[in-house]
Amino acid sequence: MSYIEKKDVGGKTHIYFVKKVSFMNQLFVIKKYAGLGSSTFSKEKYILDNLETLSEEELIFKSQFLKQIKKYLSYNENLPEKIESKSIKIDNLLDGKKCDKDVNTEFAKEFIFNSNNIEGSKIPPERVKEIIDTGDTKYNDRNEVKEVKNSILAFEYLKKSFKFNLTSIKRLYHILTKDLLMAGNIPYPKGFKKEKVIVGDSQTTPPEKVREELTNLLNWYRANKNKIHPLILAFEFHKRYEDIHPFRDGNGRTGRLIMNKILMSAGYYAMVVYKENKLAYFNALEQAIEGRSKGYYQFMLEQADKSYDYILKVLHKY
């Protein structure tokens, strides 16, 4: 949160730029004297004019928490700092340029195309963009068109109404899969899975244990959201969620959305897992579920870094 603070001294108005950052139960405050009052002064212009300095000060504060991430990595220990730096710059640019809606729309196109294609959709990116921009497309696979439309609604629900409880998880799944057909033209079943599901060669949580295991996971999240670094917290939640595999299908799509909700709740921008890295993603996730997590964390951080490069590229258009 940033704002302008004014103080009247000796008949003159002095202006200060203030930004407050709450992170892992600590409050960091940047307060800068911006000069005497002027009708032309703009908070947004001040941020853009001082982008590097403001971003660097916040990075110094947040760097103390990055040591926690490095122990999870097998190589490239500078990656967490790169991501943090880009995340801070994204936040400042969004605040300075006031283009949240446009950037969010562009991100939704990138996220929905990649997330759906990871799960087998063949709809090309230009058709996804067309649906988001105009509301429809003449693409012939109407099930995949509906899948994109559902994904748009699910993303909006995630941002505005999602809570970390069983009801919201089921609601998210319902929005994503409403009126969709699985392979074999079978409608998506309602609610949590009612039969055993095997992923690769591994059994997932039995149907009768899904509610219990999801409740335990949600309790784990609430207990650790200010203790574990948000990046690791989000990735670990995603891993555990996919291991539970609460639904017959749609677990990857719901899981990546919830992972992004954790990131956004902690002040980070959402991220994409890219379809061209699908096999590496599945392999890393499988290994992490088996107990070999370093490669998984490394992979997810690399995807976050790639995502933030994309968002910065979009921001530079405005």
Query: Does residue 124 register a pLDDT over 80?
Result: yes
Residue 84: inside a domain = no
What is the predicted pLDDT for the residue at 7? 92
Chain-wide mean pLDDT for the chain?
Answer: 95
Q: Alpha helices, DSSP H only, in 34-99? A: 43-49, 51-63, 67-70, 79-97
Residues 303 and 186 in one domain: yes
Residues 105 and 238 in one domain: yes
Query: Does residue 191 register a pLDDT over 80?
Result: yes
pLDDT in tens, 20-39: 999 999 999 999 999 897 77
4-9 own/partner pairs: CB under 8 Å, 24+ apart = 4/34, 4/41, 4/43, 5/31, 6/37
Residues 121 and 192 in one domain: yes
Q: What is the mean pLDDT of residues 157-182?
A: 96
Q: Which residues pair with 20 in a beta bridge?
A: 29
pLDDT interval class at 199 (50, 70, 90): confident
pLDDT in tens, 229-251: 999 999 999 999 999 999 999 99
What is the spatial distance between Cα 11 and Cα 33, in angstroms, rounded to a whole number?
Answer: 17
pTM exceeds 0.85, yes or no: yes
Q: Is residue 206 within 8 Å of 181, Cβ to Cβ? A: no
Residue 215: inside a domain = yes
Q: What distance, in Å, lies between the first and last C-alpha atoms of the chain?
A: 21
Contacts of 150 (CB under 8 A, 6+ apart): 175, 176, 177, 178, 179, 180
Last residue of a domain, one of 33, 51, 71: 71
> How far is C-alpha 166 from the geometric centre of its chain's CA atoms?
20
**Share above pLDDT 90 across residues of the chain, in percent, rounded to a whole number:** 88
What is the spatial distance between Cα 107 and Cα 110, in angstroms, rounded to a whole number?
Answer: 5
Number of domains in the chain: 2
Residue 90: inside a domain = no
pLDDT in tens, 283-315: 999 999 999 999 999 999 999 999 999 999 999
pLDDT interval class at 110 (50, 70, 90): very high
Residues 183 and 132 in one domain: yes
What is the predicted pLDDT for the residue at 71? 84
Q: What is the CATH number of the domain that holds 265?
A: 1.10.3290.10
Task: Give 93 or 183, the one with higher predicted confidence.
Answer: 93
Query: Does residue 74 register a pLDDT over 80?
Result: no
Residues 16 and 125 in one domain: no
User: Quick one: DSSP state of residue 208?
Assistant: G
Query: Does residue 202 register a pLDDT over 80?
Result: no
Q: What is the mean pLDDT of residues 108-130?
A: 96
What is the predicted pLDDT for the residue at 91? 98
Give the residue numbers spanning the domain of 210. 100-315
Residue 257: inside a domain = yes
Dihedral angle over CA of 174, 231, 265, 47, nearest 10: -130
Q: What is the mean pLDDT of residues 106-133?
A: 96
Residues 189 and 268 in one domain: yes
Q: Which of 6-10, 16-20, 92-96 is the least confident region? A: 6-10
What is the spatial distance between Cα 202 and Cα 290, in angstroms, rounded to a whole number?
Answer: 9
Residues 38 and 124 in one domain: no
